[in-house]
Structure 1
Amino acid sequence: MVLEVVKLTVIEGQQENFERDYKKAAQYISASKGYIKHSIHKSLEKSNEYIQFVEWESLEDHTVTFFESELFQEWAKLLHDYYDPMPTVEHYETKNLLSE
Structure 2
Amino acid sequence: MKTKPENDTELRIKINRETARLPWAELERHFAQGSVIFVSVELDLVDVAVRVSHDDKESIVRWMAEGKIAKVNDEQTQAWTAAQASLWTAVVSPFVLVQPEKSKLH
Using the size of structure 1 for normalisation, the TM-score is: 0.27
Using the size of structure 2 for normalisation, the TM-score is: 0.26
- Looking at secondary structure, tell me which structure has more helix per residue: 2
- Looking at secondary structure, tell me which structure has more strand per residue: 1
Larger relative contact order (CA 8 Å, sep ≥ 6):
1
